Chains A and B, each alone.
Chain A
Amino acid sequence: DQQVKQNSPSLSVQEGRISILNCDYTNSMFDYFLWYKKYPAEGPTFLISISSIKDKNEDGRFTVFLNKSAKHLSLHIVPSQPGDSAVYFCAANDPTGANSKLTFGKGITLSVRP
């Protein structure tokens, strides 16, 4: 039972245009949502996050939007650059139970064409 879903496995955009990466979740108890970026042969690196009490968080070229009623979040990258080409993982923090931990989606491979 996948609680964090990234239904599109890949996305290709032109340099300078906007990249929109989507993520859906099923667990209404998630309290934080995070995006990680991963290059081949490296570990994931933290990119940006948002609390469930917010609907938007912006950091430079990266903005994350959260729609709690739809259980949907998205990462916007604008303008996209070739160096943004990587796998992007959506993750959510589950505070319930004895200990919180992050649950990850399958990832989206973003290719930015020069």
Chain B
Amino acid sequence: NAGVMQNPRHLVRRRGQEARLRCSPMKGHSHVYWYRQLPEEGLKFMVYLQKENIIDESGMPKERFSAEFPKEGPSILRIQQVVRGDSAAYFCASSPQEPGLYGYTFGSGTRLTVV
């Protein structure tokens, strides 16, 4: 029973390139959340998705960032034209329902470095 799978674990991009981060939720989990952890900061909510729907994207930067969770396949967080300030750890989490008392299950994260 695999947990939340994120890949790649580490991603290096040059400024201006695109970064694609993938997340496969736990089996049976239909709720996917993306969080970002900047250096010396906590976990900041970015977006909440269910299959084929963006439910809450209130934490997403207005430009360059997008997310999807297609009917088939993993959830994708896409960052276009990356800048140094995008360097962070990006965590995906999933749950079978809204978090409540049991929260989410997190993946191991993707560490993005922009050079």
Chain B residues numbered 5-36 whose CB sits less than 8 Å from any CB in chain A: 6, 33, 35
Complex Cα–Cα for A98 and B57 (A): 12
B101 touches A32 (CB 8 A): yes
Quick check: is A36 within 8 A (CB to CB) of the other chain?
A: yes
Quick check: is A45 within 8 A (CB to CB) of the other chain?
A: yes
Complex Cα–Cα for A39 and B75 (A): 24
User: How many pairs of A and B residues are in contact by the CB < 8 Å rule?
Assistant: 76
With A98-B55, A98-B56: A43-B109 Cβ-Cβ less than 8 Å: yes
Q: Which residues of A are found within 8 Å of B103, using beta-carbon distances? A: 34, 36, 46, 49, 91, 93, 102
Q: Which residues of B are found within 8 Å of A93, using beta-carbon distances? A: 99-100, 103
Count of A interface residues, CB-CB < 8 Å: 29
Complex Cα–Cα for A36 and B104 (A): 10
With A89-B42, A99-B98, A106-B41: A43-B106 Cβ-Cβ less than 8 Å: yes
Count of B interface residues, CB-CB < 8 Å: 28
Quick check: is A85 within 8 A (CB to CB) of the other chain?
A: no
Closest to A105 in B: B42
Partner of A46, one of B35, B41, B105, B111: B105
Complex Cα–Cα for A106 and B44 (A): 9
Complex Cα–Cα for A31 and B108 (A): 27
Quick check: is A25 within 8 A (CB to CB) of the other chain?
A: no
> Least Cβ distance of B70 to chain A in Å?
20
Complex Cα–Cα for A49 and B99 (A): 11
Quick check: is A74 within 8 A (CB to CB) of the other chain?
A: no
> Least Cβ distance of A43 to chain B in Å?
4
Interface residues of A (CB under 8 A from B): 4, 6, 31-32, 34, 36, 41-46, 49, 51, 89, 91, 93, 95, 97-107
Can you offer 10 A-B residue contacts whose CB atoms are under 8 A? Answer: A6-B42, A32-B99, A34-B101, A41-B108, A41-B109, A44-B106, A46-B102, A98-B56, A101-B45, A105-B42
Known pairs A51-B101, A91-B103, A105-B42; list 12 more (Cβ under 8 Å): A32-B100, A34-B101, A41-B109, A43-B4, A43-B109, A98-B55, A98-B56, A100-B100, A101-B98, A102-B104, A103-B45, A107-B42
